[in-house]
Amino acid sequence: MTAAPIGFAILGTGIIAETHRQAIAMNADLGARLVAVGHYDPSRFAEIGRRFGVPCLSEAELLKRADVDVVCLATPSGQHAEQAIAAAEAGKHVLVEKPLALGLADADAMIAACDTAGVRLGVLLQQRAESLFRQVYQAIRAGDLGDITMASVCMPYHRPQAYYDQSAWRGTWEQDGGGVLMNQGIHFVDLVLWLMGADPVHITARAATLQRQIETEDTVVATLEFQNGALATLAATTTAPPGFRQRVEVYGTAGVIQLEGDAAVHWETARGTGPDSGQSANPAAPAAATATPAFPTAGSQSPVAHAALIRDFVEALRDGRPPAVDGREGRRSVAAVLGIYEAAGLLPR
């Protein structure tokens, strides 16, 4: 039996839009299909339409289409709130690239607009869909590590000046909402909150703009304290050529998990010495990668984790439930990033 079609439109046609296109196609068995893309420049509609194989329209025309059920926002972060609210008011479900918004008032307005319209709001924080990270999450929830005492993330990425220069919104407070932390590091802020199962109650941080000619930070280090006394550290930069895989570590009273990139390099818990309960951790057997430590280009990011979240989103629509990473979950990482910026004395105004 063929699943009823669910029409997707992608608003924004930059680097990440190609990942969205591939991820939607990977869910064709559930009826997901790309029916339109949106762009602000009419002079480019024909060229973009040929590239994506569907009509390219203005935002207003895209939202009028009856065959558009879900709007994916792949636009600059500062545009998310206004566009999500417009989509909700047009009766469209909304799936937003990270971050959900640049401020909590905007995030709350997006959540309220979707609630009022009776549509779903999801956020593409795709680390939660990675197989290896999900196994870490399940091990923690099963008590395999005992009581969690510490987590640590180190993200030594590389984004050359050309990355920021190719799009005027990157590295600006108004449209990017921050630098390495709000743009790239928010994935790992979200991951830490998800793994720890809580939001921080106290934050200390330092941030600086060391190499890039941008308004925002290119390097940040933060410590998060949780209600149970556990601590987490986050270190992120875009100034480490050629770019290296992130390292994620979780320590508990009964075990430790250390990951590098998309592989487990050390896994010792009450259940055994590997992610599959007794199997040795094998660095040569990675999960699907989503992190992009070097200069990203269109199609350079694996669509696998995006596809998993889109699959969950489609299933949520069919089941009448919230998606796994809904607007309220997406708000948590924005709040934590803003808390780190505040602690670092970095927020403008």
DSSP letter assigned to residue 269: B
258 contacts 231 by C-beta, under 8 angstroms? no
Domain identity same for 285 and 249: yes
pLDDT score, position 272: 78
CA-CA distance, 19 to 23, in Å (whole number)? Answer: 6
Q: Which letter, b or e, does each residue of 255-271 get, where b requires 16 or more Cβ atoms within 10 Å of its Cβ?
A: bebbbbbbbbeebbbeb
Domain identity same for 112 and 206: no
CATH number of the domain at 246, please.
Answer: 3.30.360.10
Domain identity same for 191 and 248: yes
Residue found by looking up tokens 């770019």 in the block:
243
pLDDT along the chain (349 residues), means of 10: 87 96 98 98 98 98 98 97 98 98 98 98 96 96 97 97 94 96 97 98 98 97 97 98 96 97 92 61 38 66 93 97 98 98 84
Considering the domain boundaries, does residue 110 fall inside one? yes
Q: Quote the domain boundaries for residue 55.
A: 6-125+304-325
Considering the domain boundaries, does residue 120 fall inside one? yes
Could you tell me which of 202, 204, 236, 195 has the C-alpha nearest to residue 219? Answer: 236
Considering the domain boundaries, does residue 317 fall inside one? yes
Q: What is the pLDDT of residues 290-313, one digit of tens each?
A: 457 876 666 567 899 999 999 999
The secondary element (H helix, E strand) that includes residue 304 is helix 304-319
Number of structural domains, the chain?
Answer: 2
What percent of the chain clears pLDDT 90, i.e. is strictly above it?
A: 88
CA angle 161, 186, 267 (to 5 degrees): 110
Task: Identify whether 99 is preceded by a cis peptide bond (ω within 30 of 0).
Answer: yes
pTM, entire model: 0.93
E strand map for 78-200:
93-97, 121-124, 148-156
